[in-house]
Amino acid sequence: MFVLPGLLMYLLFFVYPTINGLVLSFTNWEGISPDWKWVGLDNYKKMITNDVIFHTAILNNLKFMFCVVLFQTAFSLILALLLLKNSKANIFLRALYFFPTIISSISVAFIWSFVLNPNVGALNVILGKVGMENLAMNWLGNPSLAMYSIAFVQIWAHTGQMLVIFVAGLQSIPGELYEAVYLDGATRWQAFKNVTWPMVAPAATIVVAYTTIQSFKAFDLIFAMTGGGPMNSTEILSTYIYHTAFQNSEFGYAATQSMAFMAIIALITFIQFKLLKGNRAA
C-alpha cells in the first residue's frame, strides 16, 4: 500500500505514455485528426535508411554528449578537489560556481547568445581589445564551431551542480585511508589513484549518468541559441523530434524517433554504468 501511490504515478506518467508512443510510432498520425493509418514498420525503415537529418542529429548528440560528459566531469572533479575544505572562501566559491545551475536554461541561452554575438558580443570585443581580433569568430553561425560553443555553455552552466556531488563524495572518504597510504610513501597521484578515485567512483557514476541524460535533453539551450542550425550542425535528437512533430505535423514519425531516442539513452547509460562499475570493482 505504501508503494501504490508512487507506482500509480509511474504507470500514469511513464508507462502509459511510453506504450502510447510506441503504438503511434506505427502510424502516420499528423497530430490533428482522430483517425490515422497503420503503416507498420515504414516509419522505422525511413528513419534507419532514408532520414539523413536523423543520422546527423545522432552524430551531433554523441559529439555534444562526449564533450559535455568528459569536460564537465573533469572540471567538476578538479574544482571539488581544490575546494574540498570547508573554509569560508571555499564555501563561497562553491556557491558561486553553483549559481548558474539555478538560472533557467532559456536565460543562460540568451545571455550567452549575446556574449557570443559576432558583431557586438562581449567575447569578440574583448579579443579585439587585447589584440587577438584574429581569434574573433562567428561562434554560433559557423557550422564547425556552433556545437562546441553550445557545449561550452552547457559545461559552464552545470559544472557547479556536479561539483556539489563530488564534494559530498570526497568528504565521505575516511581521512585514515590517506594517512595510511602517505605513511607507506605514496605520492599524491598514487593516493588519488588508489584511494580517492575508487572511493569517489559511486559519485562519479551519478555524475556521468546524469550528465549524459542532461546532454541528450539540452533541447531548450540549443533551441534558444541556434534552433538546430546553421545547416543542421546543432540539430540533436530532441530538437529534431520537435521539428518533425510541431513543424512538419508528422507525429507518428516523431513517435518513432522518440522510441529510438529512449533506446539510445538507455543503451549509453547502461554501458556507462557497466564500465564504471567494473572500474569500481577493480
The amino acid at residue 170 is L
Per-residue DSSP letter, 34: S
Work out the number of other CB atoms within 10 angstroms of the CB of residue 18. 13
Ordered per-residue pLDDT tens for the chain, 282 residues: 899 999 999 999 999 999 999 999 999 988 888 888 899 999 999 999 999 999 999 999 999 999 999 999 999 999 999 998 889 999 999 999 999 999 999 999 999 999 999 888 899 999 888 888 888 899 999 999 999 999 999 999 999 999 999 999 999 888 888 888 888 888 888 888 888 888 898 888 889 888 988 888 889 999 999 999 899 999 999 999 999 999 989 999 999 999 999 998 888 888 877 776 655 545
* Contact status, residue 25 vs residue 42, Cβ threshold 8 Å: no
Work out the number of other CB atoms within 10 angstroms of the CB of residue 238. 21
- Which domains are delineated in the chain? 52-281 (1.10.3720.10)
* Contact status, residue 167 vs residue 94, Cβ threshold 8 Å: yes
User: How many CA atoms does the CB half-sphere of 180 hold within 13 Å?
Assistant: 8
Residue appearing with cell numbers 532559456: 106
